[in-house]
A and B are shown apart, each in its own frame.
Chain A
């Protein structure tokens, strides 16, 4: 493993170049949602917008009905434990008609329960269950909010950054497999 060398004077790390995203769609969205969307950006040629968490579902609905973004590609999360709003919740959308892919990125605090997208896109069902399974983000109004990949009585959310890679649910492993946890 390469040791990371800390430079004496910490300078800002190189960041991907971004440009503001402005076209018809952003105009429409601005008119419709106003300051509930704080950012329209293009990074590495990919468009994304940053709304407030409670605006996500109305935006998904609006994009589906008015702008043909009828395919929810993915729902996922990124954990930033040091930040006040701990998680980035990311929705990736695609429009078959416009051959365009955009991302919706919202920031939520730990314990916040974002509304489910199942009412808009059925595919969100399993995707949100996986986010719950791995990050412990509960989706309000989800029809079946259970773990999907890990056993139902497993404790802990593995993809959170404060969870070590070797850390297991010792109780579960002992109870079900009859062995001491650890590798």
Chain B
């Protein structure tokens, strides 16, 4: 065997990103290629690092709340919910029932919005341009509700420690119901476009397989874990905000490939709509703020609270030293941890599959880098 002819160009290092449309922001991936086959990847992250955890130590508990919205900025409501729950647990207060129901409605709407963004951009990466316009159109409906509720569309800061800042606006229930009615047939439409589509199946089936064992080893959570067949959702396993009162199912996949992850997220959107409908129907009257002191100074202690964000387990580890500012806030970001499995999934696949795999992880770089 000739040892080094020009044909034996065995390794090629290819740089992808950070300015690349399919890396969903500023992710840089260095690919090591053998022909068109990926034999190794390395992620270079941190381009969007703003030091959120450091900022937390220099703001009061209330002042820090808007900052968390800027991490996973397509699911800002979830970030806010996790932070509020953590501080509430430290303080020993609980949001009143009405606030909890409104929280569930907004969080689930936000989950749908986040999944819609994922679907549109994921399909765009694969080469299907049309779904992006459709998903953006429907996302608009959910954003309109946020805008009417709290004035912001993206970084909402919808919740406050102890409950809600605002009472719902007139016609909130009606509009949320209308939005639900609109969403379900539209999700059917996306599925008509994609689920049975030969190109879609060809590009997604058996691509980027991550089985349950690997998911657990890499700490992968959320739809990725469920697509591998693990029926685990924090909303069911350790319910918060009254999720135990709603009937919904945890969709799971079998193979843990990109197609299963697609299916799981599609089914999740339907389940979210189901939860929202139940929540709107059973909206109690009453106050929207719990008994929270004017100056928040939780007792010395620490707490870890996690919620099921659209991307996976979003955790807040908050340490208090009984001052007005948190001593330490650690955010356990699902995107960051899930992204680590990219190497495992991409090894042995083709370059074009890497694009599909990055899309299927559903990362938001604002959360990866914080």
Stretch in contact with the other chain, from A20-28, A31-39, A69-77: A69-77
Residues of A within 8 A of B45 (CB): 148-149
- A16 on the interface (CB 8 Å rule)? yes
A15 touches B304 (CB 8 A): no
One of B69-77, B181-189, B316-324, B349-357 at the interface: B316-324
The answer to whether A78 has its CB under 8 Å from any CB of chain B is yes
Contact A78 B60 (CB under 8 A): no
- A92/B317 in contact, CB under 8 A: yes
CB proximity to A under 8 Å, residues B307-343: 313, 315, 317, 319, 321-324, 327-328, 330, 332, 336-337, 340
| In the bound complex, CA of A158 to CA of B369 (Å) | 14
Please, which residues of chain B bring their CB within 8 A of the CB of A121? 217, 219
Instruction: Decide if B340 touches A123 in the complex (CB within 8 Å).
Output: yes
Instruction: Check A74–B324 contact: CB distance below 8 A.
Output: no
CB–CB B46/A148 < 8 A: yes
Interface residues of A in 47-87 (CB under 8 A from B): 70-74, 76, 78-79
| B294 to chain A: closest residue by CB | A2
Complex contact A165–B54 (CB within 8 A): yes
B304 & A158 in contact (Cβ 8 Å cutoff): no
Given the interface pairs A4-B324, A123-B218, A149-B369, the reply to whether A74 lies near B330 with Cβ below 8 Å is yes
Alpha-carbon distance A44/B319, docked complex (angstroms): 12
A143 within 8 A of B: no
Whether A107 is near chain B, meaning CB under 8 Å from some CB there, is: no
B34 interface contact, C-beta 8 A = no
When distances are taken between beta carbons in the complex, the residues of chain A under 8 Å from B274 are none
Q: Are B322 and A44 in contact (CB under 8 A)?
A: no
Interface segment out of the listed B119-127, B282-290, B295-303? B295-303
Q: Which residue of A lies closest to B301 (CB)?
A: A16
A123 in contact with B55 (CB, 8 Å): no
Q: Mark B149-162, 1 if CB is under 8 A from A, else 0.
A: 00000000000000
Q: Does B238 contact A (CB under 8 A)?
A: yes
Is the CB–CB distance between B46 and A151 below 8 Å?
yes
Which secondary structure characterizes the binding site on chain A? Answer: loop
Q: Which residues of A contact B53 (CB under 8 A)?
A: 134, 159
Chain A interface residue number, banded: 35 or more
User: Does B109 sit at the interface, judged by CB under 8 A?
Assistant: no
Q: How many residues of B contact A (CB 8 A)?
A: 46
Q: Mark A92-116, 1 if CB is under 8 A from B, else 0.
A: 1000100101010000000000000
B20 within 8 A of A: no
Q: A123 and B60 in contact (CB under 8 A), knowing A4-B324, A149-B369? A: no
Chain B residues contacting A72 (CB-CB under 8 Å) are 219
Residues of chain B within 8 A of A90, CB atoms compared: 317, 330
Q: In whole angstroms, how far apart are the Cα atoms of A175 and B120 in the complex?
A: 40
Please tell me if the beta carbons of A44 and B303 are within 8 angstroms of each other in the complex.
Answer: yes
**Chain A residues in 8 Å Cβ range of B327:** 78
By beta carbon, the residue of chain A nearest B313 is A73
CB pair B219–A71 under 8 Å, yes or no, is yes
Contact of A158 with B51 in the complex, beta carbons under 8 Å:
yes
Chain B minimum-CB-distance residue to A150: B46
A4-B323 CB under 8 A given contacts A13-B300, A44-B90, A121-B217: yes
B237 within 8 A of A: yes
Residue of B49, B232, B317, B336 touching A76 (CB-CB under 8 A): B317
Could you tell me the distance in whole angstroms from the C-beta of B13 to the nearest C-beta in chain A?
17
- Contacts A92-B317, A121-B219: A46 and B304 contacting too (C-beta < 8 A)? yes
- CB < 8 Å neighbour of A44 from B89, B230, B324: B89
Contact of A2 among B218, B220, B324 (CB under 8 A): B324
CA of A103 to CA of B238, assembled, Å = 16
B168 within 8 A of partner (CB): no
Q: A72-B219, A92-B315 are in contact. List 4 more A-B contacts (CB 8 A).
A: A1-B60, A4-B324, A44-B303, A123-B219
Instruction: Give me 25 A-to-B residue pairs in the complex whose CB atoms sit less than 8 angstroms apart, sorted by A's number.
Output: A2-B60, A4-B324, A16-B90, A43-B303, A44-B89, A44-B90, A71-B219, A73-B219, A74-B315, A78-B328, A79-B328, A90-B330, A121-B217, A122-B218, A123-B220, A126-B337, A126-B340, A148-B45, A148-B46, A149-B46, A149-B369, A150-B46, A150-B49, A158-B51, A163-B54
